[in-house]
Amino acid sequence: MAVKTLTIDGTLLSAREEQTVLQAARDAGIAIPTLCQLDGLSTVGACRMCLVDIEGTGRLLPACTTRVAEGMVIHTKTERLQSYRRMIVELLFAERNHICAVCVANGACELQDLAIEVGMDHVRFDYLHPECSVDISHKRFGLDHNRCVLCTRCVRACDEVEGAHTWDVAGRGTAARVITDMAQPWGTSETCTSCGKCVQACPTGALFIKGMTVAESRKDRSEIGFLVTAREKKQWVV
């Protein structure tokens, strides 16, 4: 196993060559904000929260999809990166109807955590207030498009870990929506196994367990990573 040495935020560290910059940073206790990444799932580099500045590349790269390389010098918290991250979170809040006070995930929401982390005290952009539907046709779970950030973690959890591929994305741009089967009510889906992995993977209150109160509604987002590690490495570690 080859080892690479690199510098992240001034700290010289080593990483295994197959690791991503994000994994190497986390191993060294350096936190990089993420949203679309979830341990156990493939990475898509979509949310752009984890963008880092790697000297000599001339562009910003997502830490979650970028492999470590020998001698890399990486900055994860420049003023520019911080301002981009804050703007991305603002854009998400403006895009749909994220009203924490009436959200089932209040207090257990990664979007909310990110807003606090990036210091979002107000939103500079117009709230778009789109009309979004809520699908409660499934007997155990619900989908609230108002809260969806299109991270596609549900899509990947269902496809890669459960193997059902009930979820997908339809539509384009800001009109894109996650769908079940052929864009039909979740309750009528023939592929859904009701395993609930999508609900656990969801960072916000978009996917929820019906009948739970805000206080009860704590998701176990490490479940997917736990399952995959158990499967692939035969290690039952949390």
Interface residues with another protein (CB under 8 A) are 44-48, 51, 59-62, 65, 83-84, 87-88, 91-92, 94-95, 124-126, 128, 149-150, 152, 168-169, 171-176
Tell how strand 73-75 and strand 3-8 pair up: parallel
Considering only the stretches 30-38, 180-188, 211-219, 225-233, report the one whose residues sit in contact with ligand FES under the rule CB under 6 A.
30-38
- CB of 30 closer than 8 Å to CB of 9: yes
Q: Which does 171 bind (CB under 5 to 8 A by kind): ligand FES, another protein, none?
A: another protein
Residue 32, Cβ density class (10 Å: 0-12 exposed, 13-18 middle, ≥19 buried) = buried
- The distance of Cα 5 from the centroid of its chain, to the nearest Å, equals 28
Q: Of 60 and 136, which CB lies nearer to another protein in the complex structure?
A: 60
Q: Round to whole Å and give the CA distance between 71 and 14.
A: 10
- Cα–Cα separations (whole angstroms), residue 206 to 83, 103, 220: 26, 9, 15
d(CA 177, CA 164): 19
Q: Which of 21, 50, 111, 149 binds ligand FES (CB under 6 A)?
A: 50
User: Least distance to ligand FES from the beta carbon of 208, Å?
Assistant: 22
Q: Residue 121 is which amino acid?
A: D
Q: Select from ligand FES, another protein, none the partner in contact with residue 34, using the beta carbon and a kind-dependent cut-off of 5 to 8 Å.
A: ligand FES
Shortest Cβ 149–another protein spacing (Å): 8
CB of 21 to another protein, least distance (A): 12
